[in-house]
Structure 1
Amino acid sequence: MKQNIYDNPTFFEGYMNLRDSKMTYNDFLEQPAMKDTLPDLKGKRVMDLGCGTGGMSKYCIEMGASAVVGVDISEKMISRALVENKDENITYVCSPIEDLSFQKEPFDLIVSSLAIHYIEDYEFLIRKLHSFLKPGGLLIYSTEHPVVTARKDMKNWWQNAEGDRLHWALDHYREEGKREQHWYVDGVIKYHRTITTLVNGLTDHGFMLEKMLEPLPTKEGIDLIPSLKNEERRPSFLIIRSRKTD
């Protein structure tokens, strides 16, 4: 199933209002950690998988990448990227990740921010990305942490009558597969996988694991969004850096 929830007008409006606020977990948690995980980008050819409005694509160019191909299924996202983050060295491609096919020069780096948990067939994806990389190329991606996606109804915080968060409920961890939740609209689909599946899917298909991060928020983020302190109780995101070995 190729989900394109970002072109739903209601979802897109809600999501972009959130991102435009610059007061999100992406701004103070996931993106700072992703950027810290990147290698020296000077002269590198990069694919930004699930590029959204192109923020990471533009950042890679600013850090010295010679060329970036930004890929996203959403026409609305690509249209906004072409306005906000247009650059002569960035090529934006509107396509489902599952349908990608590149015959040109391979990439030094594939970076993907919070997109892989929307893809149903993880092993198929990893094999495809392996074919896009140069020998020794890097794949760096973030995903919602499996402790977040595990519980089938994805309602994890247990609260008391006053609304205080008491503890995080973890259940159904071993039961991989589709999860649905309400996020601006009903029926937003993500795919839960165990950490074992995420890691072995890489090492079984020609990648060597280099680093895993469960990022903590920046100090500025905690000052602006106090709820980010709950990242000390359970992680929202997992970041994996791996290298093509064959």
Structure 2
Amino acid sequence: MKQNKYDDSGFFEKYSQMPRSLGGLDAAGEWTTFRTLFPELRGKKMLDLGCGFGWHCRYARELQARSVVGIDLSENMLERAKAMTEDPQIEYRRLAIEDIDFAEGEFDVVISSLALHYVERFDLICRKVYHCLAQDGTFVLSVEHPIFTALATQDWYYGQQGEKLHWPVDNYHEEGPRLSRFLDNDVIKYHRTVTTYINALIESGFRIMKLSELQPTQDMLDKNSAWQEEIRRPMFLLISAVKG
């Protein structure tokens, strides 16, 4: 299933008002850690899977990437990305992640930020990314953590006074679709275990270089007390892998 909620005008309007939509990468809590997983981008050709507003594409060019291709299924996303971009070395294409079919070794770096948990066959994407990466190319991705996606409700268990008692985890090993609520809309996310994410990459030929479950730093806690929740349970899983 190829979801495209972002071309629904009401959903897109709500998404456009999110802090990360307004503030860009600096407003994305995982960004500080995510960018540390990137290789040297100078002179590299990069592909962004699910590029959204193109924040990562423009960042790569700021670091002197040779060229960037950003793909997304949403016309609304791509229109916004193009309006925010004045750089002939960034190309945006309307394309589902599932449909990528680039030439062998076409890119040096492939990234994907919080998009692959909407894709049913992660293993197929890994093989396609491996194919289009040059030797020693890097694949960097972030997804919602499997502890976060295991239950479709994606919410705390509350006490009688509305206090957050604990984060429930159930049906963890039962992989597959979860019908969740996001911005007052039903969206389908695909739950996978950490094991599945890692083994899919390894079985496609990648070497895992680094993992992060995004433990908040003291600086993050000082700036935003809401990050205290991320100490109680991880929300993000970030992975860096290399085509070996």
Task: Tell me which interval the TM-score lies in, with the shorter structure as reference length.
Answer: over 0.9
Q: Which amino acid aligns with 1:167?
A: H
Residues 29, 216 of structure 1: 8 Å contact kept: no
Give the whole-Å Cα distance in 2 for the aligned partners of 1:44 and 1:131. Answer: 17
**Between Structure 1 and Structure 2, how many residues are aligned?**
243
Q: Specify the alignment match of 1:212 in structure 2.
A: 211
Q: CA deviation at 1:38?
A: 0.8
Q: Specify the alignment match of 2:202 in structure 1.
A: 203
Residues 104, 131 of structure 2: 8 Å contact kept: no
Question: Residues 142-198 of structure 1, C-alpha deviation per residue, up to 9 Å, x if partnerless?
Answer: 0000000001x3243111222221111111100000011121243201100001100
1:163 counterpart SS class: coil
Residues 74, 94 of structure 2: 8 Å contact kept: yes
Within 5 Å, which residues of 2 pair with 1:65-76? 65-76=65-76
Q: Which has the higher contact order (CA 8 A, sep 6+)?
A: 1
- State, as a whole percentage, how many aligned pairs show the same letter: 40
Q: Specify the alignment match of 1:222 in structure 2.
A: 221
- How well do the aligned residues superpose, as a CA RMSD in angstroms? 1.9
Change (3 A) 1:63 1:227: same
Residues 23, 224 of structure 1: 8 Å contact kept: no
Q: Specify the alignment match of 2:116 in structure 1.
A: 116
Change (3 A) 1:213 1:119: same
Give the whole-Å Cα distance in 1 for the aligned partners of 2:6 and 2:217. Answer: 27
Unaligned runs of 5+ in 1: none
Q: CA deviation at 1:36?
A: 1.4
Q: Specify the alignment match of 1:191 in structure 2.
A: 190
Residues 182, 188 of structure 1: 8 Å contact kept: yes
Give the whole-Å Cα distance in 2 for the aligned partners of 1:20 and 1:2. Answer: 22
Change (3 A) 1:221 1:8: farther
Within 5 Å, which residues of 2 pair with 1:12-161? 12-18=12-18, 19-22=20-23, 27-103=27-103, 106-151=106-151, 153-161=152-160
Residues 153, 181 of structure 2: 8 Å contact kept: no
Q: Specify the alignment match of 1:164 in structure 2.
A: 163
Unaligned runs of 5+ in 2: none
Change (3 A) 1:219 1:15: farther
